[in-house]
Structure formats: C-alpha cells, structure tokens
Chains A and B, each alone.
Chain A
Amino acid sequence: DVKVTQSSRYLVKRTGEKVFLECVQDMDHENMFWYRQDPGLGLRLIYFSYDVKMKEKGDIPEGYSVSREKKERFSLILESASTNQTSMYLCASSSGLAGLQGEQYFGPGTRLTVT
C-alpha cells in the first residue's frame, strides 16, 4: 500500500518567515508533485520532480522553491511566506512506468495559515 506522508497537518506561520513542507513516499516512485488546493480553484501544480535533483515548474511556481536530494523525499520551500500563500498543500507521487501515468498517490495535506 502506497504511503505518502507530509510532515505537518496544520502549520501557522508569520508573514516573511521561511517555511519548509516535507513529503516522503515509500514506494520508490520516480515522480513527486506539490499542489495547492483552494476552494473554487481545484488543484494547481506548483512544482514537479521526475528524478533526484530534477525539478520542473508547474503552473504557479512564483514564491516557491523545491528540493529533492533523495528519491523518497520532496520538500517545498516558501522563501518568504505571504498571506496569499495560505492554503492546503498536497504532495503526491507516481510511478514513472509507462501505463501508470496519471495514477498519483496523495498525502493527507498540510493546511498552512500565514498571518
């Protein structure tokens, strides 16, 4: 059973703080993703990684960066948190094998509030 874990369920940070969100998967998946989920906007891709140390920007990368030093771990970094980054953040992973594209496994989410 695929397990994707996220370091925190709830997080409250102040404007300007540097914020780290951690995600770990235990299925040896090549691909990992960070989304933010907002009511009425659905899921929007922030960043994507298809291999260790590899990353690609998603639809809304501004204000975020990522790190993938190990295959199982994908970190999202908010360099200087702002109130408009208050959101639910979802991490996901998927296999890189042909035929399994699109089958993403999600973490429980981190609800981040920036005050």
Chain B
Amino acid sequence: AQRVTQPEKLLSVFKGAPVELKCNYSYSGSPELFWYVQYSRQRLQLLLRHISRESIKGFTADLNKGETSFHLKKPFAQEEDSAMYYCALVYGNNRLAFGKGNQVVVIP
C-alpha cells in the first residue's frame, strides 16, 4: 500500500538558515510526488511537483528513487515561508496520499 512519511511535525529555523523538510514514500508503482503548502488563513495549494523539476519560491525537491525520498529544501529561509507543508503521492484513480505535514516556523 502507498504511504507518505514526514517524520518531523514542527521545524523551527532562523531567517536566512537553510531548511529541509523530509519526505519518504512507499509505493509499488512509478511514483509521482508533490509538495503542498498552507499559509496561515489561506487554502492549501500546490507548491511544486517532481516532474516539473522547477524551483518555486526558492524551494526545490529532488526525487530519489533509491532512497524513496522527496525532500524539500530551501537554502535561505524567509519569514514568509512559515506555513504547513504536506508531501503527497499520487496513486490509483487520481488520488493523493498525504503525509501528516510539517509546521515550519521561521524565526526573525
């Protein structure tokens, strides 16, 4: 069965410090992974997808099939990065399996 694991619930970082959110997955098929973000009092929205291999708001994520990981990284955290982040995996019939989320707090 599919599974997405985000080990840390809360991550506090200082402004300007690097941030890395870990995501590991378990899936028997070819994985398609995403990061979603929810800022305070805003709706959940797509941040980036592994297929695009793009950088959004300074964030990047690389799919490592050998380690079954899709960690989210940003070299210099900004205060506006404070949010809840969810890693998600596509499986059968367009469904998404979400991790439990990481609350990121950027300390000024």
Chain A interface (Cβ < 8 Å from any Cβ of B) = 4, 31, 33, 40-45, 48, 50, 56, 58, 90, 92, 94, 96, 101-109
CB within 8 Å of A: which B25-74 residues? 32, 34, 43-46, 49
Q: Decide if A102 touches B34 in the complex (CB within 8 Å).
A: yes
Q: A42-B101, A102-B34, A102-B88 are in contact. Are A56 and B44 (CB under 8 A)?
A: no
Q: A31-B94, A50-B94 are in contact. Are A106 and B86 (CB under 8 A)?
A: no
Out of A33, A40, A48, A102, name the residue touching B49 (CB < 8 Å): A102
- Smallest CB gap from B87: residue in A: A42
Q: A103-B46, A103-B49 are in contact. Are A42 and B34 (CB under 8 A)?
A: no
Number of interface residues of B (CB under 8 A): 20
Name the contact of A102 in the complex, choosing from B43, B44, B86, B90 (C-beta under 8 A). B90
Given contact pairs A42-B99, A43-B86, A101 touches B45 in the complex (Cβ within 8 A): no
5 smallest CB-CB distances across A and B, nearest first, come from A42-B100, A102-B90, A43-B98, A106-B44, A101-B94
Instruction: State A41–B101 Cα separation when bound (angstroms).
Output: 8
Q: Report the tally of A-B residue pairs with Cβ distances under 8 A.
A: 52
Which of B6, B9, B93 meets A56, CB within 8 Å?
B93
**B47 to chain A: closest CB distance in Å?**
11
- State in angstroms the CA–CA spacing of A86 and B91 once bound together: 28
- Given the complex, which residues of A lie within 8 Å of B99, measured CB to CB? 42
Task: Tell whether A101 pairs with B90 under 8 Å between CB atoms, given A40-B9, A42-B98, A42-B100.
Answer: yes
A-B contacts, 23 of them at CB < 8 A, read A4-B43, A40-B9, A42-B6, A42-B86, A43-B44, A43-B98, A43-B101, A48-B94, A48-B95, A50-B93, A101-B32, A101-B90, A102-B34, A102-B90, A102-B94, A103-B46, A104-B46, A104-B96, A105-B45, A106-B43, A106-B44, A108-B43, A109-B43
Distance of A98 Cα from B96 Cα, bound (Å): 15
- Can you name the residue of chain B whose Cβ is closest to the Cβ of A59? B97
